[in-house]
Structure 1
Amino acid sequence: MAHLSLLGLITVGAGGIKSCVNVMGAQQMHPDEHKELITNFFTYFFASINLGAIIGGIVTPILLQQINFTTSFVFILACFVLATVVFVFGDYMNRYVKAKPQGSAVLQICKVVVYSFARCSVEKNKESQEGKFKDDFIEDAKVFFHLLPLLALVIPFNMVCANMTTAFLTQAFKMDRNTFGWTMPAALMRNVDPIAVVVISVLLDRLLYPCLRRHSKMPSVLVRFFIGTLLGALALLCALIVEYVIMAHPLFTVSIWWQVPQFVSIAAGEIFLISTSYEVAFTHAPPELKAVASAVNLCFMAIANSLSAAVFQAASPWLPNFDFEEPEESMVGSHYDYYYYFLIGLSLVGAICCLLMIPFYRRVYAAAIIRQKSGVPPVECR
């Protein structure tokens, strides 16, 4: 019971900070004068998350193996305390731009949804039409609702990402993990992803994006979604090729380092798609609904993980567990290649949807600009 309570605290804490920290960070920049910096911020924001994943994914297991369980968690606790101290110190020094409290936007949006279904119309909820909400808030809510199909485009790619701890891990079990005389744990390959995210983020921000901006070729939001989803398909294609190579050779003879291209492809896709989805949720949502849009974006990622688990379970006849005691027998009836084909097809469908949604995105973007220029109260600078 205590373990379940602790997991609940982690869920509440993560949900609270994840939907707000990126919004607060982006609010430190002017929405018009610092447009390019906002893209840079979300690129580095996502890179910083992965930098933490690198430290946690490498240091914590070492502490757990070399010292004990308690020490590994005390290290994480110390990092949390240090981050909190730095954050509070910044507030004490009046370094932050802070928005005024405006009540529970989540509750208000939920009420709008309920009343809209009850009255079969969003417009009828306006005070000018005898509704219960201010006209401006309903207009903001309409912009927010139009964002939902765009944010849902992250689902196919995030379903691919979920395989780093399932199909890719099982694939690593069947490979030669000997690295300079050390048998590397299969799960350690997962760290290639955050390392690649940090490196590629710097390359994009310092080289590719400035070059594209100079030539007025910076890809739009949905084009970046499209590129990210295609990179997810490329990662699966790399995994499929590795799977066929494993099937064509004796077990434990193909080097685990052949998995690097699939992890790097996913990392590049994350930068193009996931960091861009954070940017969309912030820049396109009305000011008082930015945190709500960020939370919904994270919800779609959670939905993707749930769908991935459901698909993995449905495909379980193709995906038997790998048994180290009877490795040859566990390969009988194994068809991870079929599973990869399905996910590649899903990714390609997602990529096509990104392109088909471009006209819709242009309308959403135009509506967002209009709302942001319609006299919304400015953010208070303290």
Structure 2
Amino acid sequence: MIPMPFGASYQIAVFCIIATEFCERFSFCGLRTILSIYLRNILLFSENVSTVIYHVFMMGCYIVPLIGAICADSYFGRYRTIRNFALIYLMGNILMCIAAVPSLELPPVACSVLGLILIAIGTGGIKPCVAAFGGEQFHLPDQRELLTHFFSIFYFTINLGGFVGMILAPIMKKAVSCFGDDTCYALGFGFPAALMFLSIFLFIIGKNFYKLKTPKRNIMLEFFKCGSYALATSCATKKRYDHWLDNARGKFDLTLIQEMKIVCAILLLYTPLPIFWSLFDQQGSRWTFQASHMDGNLLGTQIVPDQMQVVNPAMVLVLIPAFDRIFYPCFAKFGILENSLHRMALGGVVAGLAFFSAGILELVLETTYPELPERNHASINVVNTLPCDLKVINPFNGVQIINSSEIFRFKNMGCHNYTKYSVTIEAPLYCGPLRFHKHRFQLDVVSVEYQIDTVLIGINPNDQIQAYITDPVDFQKSLSGTPRIRIAYIKGANLLHNVTVTLKNAAGLEDVYFVHDSKTASLAVSAYMELPQGIYECKISSNEDKHLYERNFHLALGGVYSLVIRENKGYVEVSIKTIIQIFNYN
């Protein structure tokens, strides 16, 4: 190989290191952004368990750097440490991608957990080494200005890689459908894996241009021995020094003692940082779940909750030049915020206000969360499909008026396993085009503990009021955020045959439900169907009329709906009811 001049070698080495860090940050931030939602929606952990797993993973990512630093400074050197841990990192990425492919029939939880462990080890091992390895490529003090420029570019690259990863990973996960699902986590995890492979490739091809240093002493071991000796001597002797590390004088090198004093001073400055970072990293867990409980539509654009974390690197990319070039020079004229500690304190106050505002927001959101049945309780939705108002005399609240085509929920009903209740339905003798011979009817409803049941009040072919109990609301699975809808078709005089219900959205997705002709059953109910959120065109046709009904309606994120269709003398009357709204999520 022809040797290259230092200038060209320096440029290639720095480019490889910066490109490596960009790809690694893209990979890590992209995976981290969609991790919480993946744990909740695909692996079906609860939000609390998902939060714990996420933060244990992040804790591992920030504990392993201690091991990575020891390996780099005492044993392998920074190049080999970065390379070896990066390979472990890549294996974790590949495992996460494989776990998200259901057709492989591998245990997704086990593969995902193992993948996260490998990623935590890999990124932790790399984290303390890359910036220091880049600094080693410069000759000091001759290239002090270049070194400063490098660290500015390096930090900018970190945030740029994180910014791009946080934007693209949720988009790729959501924009592509795969394996029968409307999301594709295999692609969401696979693309970061490809970026990690590219990161390793770029790092390795630059080997011939790097300045490599081999560790000559075990600095971490020396720090530990010196600190232990100084602490033990300080406790055993009555002689007092200005600093407790001075007790190691005569036993250890003065330069080492002085360096340890600097480290101790820095550690004191870092004391509040664990509290800050424990709150800050909730962006990837609690704040992401909080975003999933809100409507993500902004000026006609749907913001994916995973992308909420994009705000941080975006603000960093904008505020770094803004503060350096505009705000700090202006403040300096008035003698304000010239001290770094003052700037950190102001930033801490602003961060505290942000956490406080997030708590206030959660209190507001809690008022919109659905009331789900707890132990020894149940709920019943009563839907009035008749063309007149009904009076429901019941043991829960006495008398309840339910308007035509409306729904009412009886909440927090006492229930032990299965409990039967008797209610009286009172209707006017003339109910729209219907005429009843008697207007009071006794109905029995059965409630089930922890369950939300739906009772449709309609009529049977003999023009008598009848209650139809459908399958319970499947609100647990709606945690995936995809709207769920079922179709209830109440037959009348059997004048319509081969009734078809077609739901079609703007993207061309079409779902068709066929109502079976039956002379015995008065009610036909479909299973829950999961459809992407959006506006749907509903068309109902039969052999007798191809255009029985046409109407558009909107299926919101996190909603569970019932589309109630009642046949009435050769026509259909249609209403769509929101049975429960778990939350808005995309």
TM-score of the superposition, structure 2-length normalised?
0.37
Q: Which amino acid letter does the alignment assign opposite residue 185 of structure 1?
A: V
SS state of the match for residue 216, structure 2?
A: coil
Deviates more, 1:229-238 or 1:173-182: 173-182
Which residue of the other structure, out of 124, 131, 140, is the alignment partner of 2:259?
140
SS in 2 for 1:101: coil
Q: Any conservation in 2 of the 1:175–1:251 contact (CA below 8 Å)?
A: no
Mapped contact 2:332–2:338 kept (Cα < 8 A): no
From the superposition, tell whether residues 236 and 34 of structure 1 become closer, same or farther in structure 2 (CA, over 3 Å): farther
CA distance in 2, matches of 1:41, 1:214: 28
**Counterpart amino acid of residue 123 in structure 1:** D
Query: Residue 56 in 1 paired to residue 179 in 2?
Result: no
The 5-angstrom pairing of residues 83-162 of structure 1 reads: 83-94=199-210, 101-120=215-234, 121-126=244-249, 128=250, 131=251, 133-162=252-281
Going from structure 1 to structure 2, the CA distance change for 1:240 and 1:225 (only over 3 Å counts) comes to same
- The answer to whether the 8 Å contact 1:54/1:191 transfers is yes
Q: Which residue does the alignment assign to 1:177?
A: 296
Stretch moving more, 50-59 or 26-35: 26-35
Decide which of 106, 115, 119 is 1:6's aligned counterpart.
Answer: 115
Aligned-partner Cα distance in 2 for 1:42–1:4: 34
* Runs of 5+ consecutive residues of structure 1 not aligned to the other structure: 253-321, 331-382
Among candidates 300, 316, 327, match of residue 197 of structure 1: 316
Q: Structure 2 CA distance, aligned partners of 1:218 and 1:63?
A: 42
Task: Summarize deviations over 1:338-366 as a string: whole Å, max 9, x none.
Answer: xxxxxxxxxxxxxxxxxxxxxxxxxxxxx
- The answer to whether the Cα contact below 8 Å between 1:209 and 1:218 also exists between their aligned partners in 2 is yes
Amino acid at match of 1:78: A
- Distance 1:36-1:251 versus aligned 2 partners, 3 A rule: farther
Shift of 1:116: 2.8
Identity value in percent: 27
Give, in angstroms, the shift of residue 45 of structure 1. Answer: 3.6
The answer for the alignment partner of 1:229 in structure 2 is 348
Higher strand fraction (1 or 2): 2
**Residue 127 of structure 2 is aligned to residue 18 of structure 1:** yes
CA shift in 2, pair 1:234/1:37, >3 Å = farther
2:283 to 164, 167, 171: 164
CA distance in 1, matches of 2:264, 2:130: 22
Q: 1:196 to 1:134 in 2, by over 3 A?
A: same
Map 1:210-249 to 2 at 5 A: 219-240=338-359, 242-243=361-362
1:209-263 residue CA offsets vs partner (Å, 9 max, x unmatched): 566679987733322321221220231344355456657x8679xxxxxxxxxxx
* 5+ residue gaps, structure 2: 1-109, 179-183, 235-243, 371-477, 480-557, 561-578
Say which SS state the counterpart of residue 122 (structure 1) adopts. Answer: helix
Q: Which has the larger radius of gyration?
A: 2
Deviations 1:107-141 (A, max 9, x none): 22222233233323533333x2xx2x323212222
- Give secondary structure in 2 for the equivalent of 1:195: helix
Q: In 2 relative to 1, CA 86–230 (structure 1 residues): closer, same or farther, beyond 3 Å?
A: same
How far, CA to CA, are the matches of 1:84 and 1:91 in structure 2?
A: 11
C-alpha distance in structure 1 between counterparts of 2:201 and 2:268, whole Å: 38
C-alpha contact 1:63 1:72 (8 A) present in aligned 2 = yes
* Separation in structure 1 between the aligned mates of residue 350 and residue 149 of structure 2, nearest angstrom: 20
Question: Residues 161 and 31 (structure 1 numbering): CA distance in 2 closer, same or farther, change over 3 Å?
Answer: farther
CA shift at 1:150, angstroms? 0.8
Measure how far apart 1:18 and its partner are.
1.1
SS at match of 1:175: coil
Match of 1:79 among 195, 217, 223: 195
| TM-score between the two structures when normalised by the length of structure 1 | 0.53
| Distance in 2 (alpha carbons) for counterparts of 1:40 and 1:47 | 11
Query: 1:81 is aligned with what amino acid?
Result: F
Aligned residues: 254
Tell whether the 8 Å contact from 1:156 to 1:229 is kept in structure 2 after alignment: no
Q: 1:109 to 1:238 in 2, by over 3 A?
A: same
TM-aligned CA distance change 1:72 to 1:168, over 3 Å:
closer
Cα deviation, 1:49-91, whole Å, max 9, x if unaligned, reads 2322222223223333415444443422332233334334444
The answer (yes or no) to whether the contact 2:170–2:307 under 8 Å persists in 1 is: no
- Structure 1 residue 149: deviation in Å? 0.5
CA RMSD of aligned residues (A): 4.1
Distance 1:229 1:209, change over 3 A: same
Q: 1:19 aligns to what SS in structure 2? A: coil
2:159/2:316 contact within 8 Å kept: yes
Shift of 1:35: 7.2
CA 1:204–1:84 in 2, change beyond 3 Å: closer, same or farther? farther
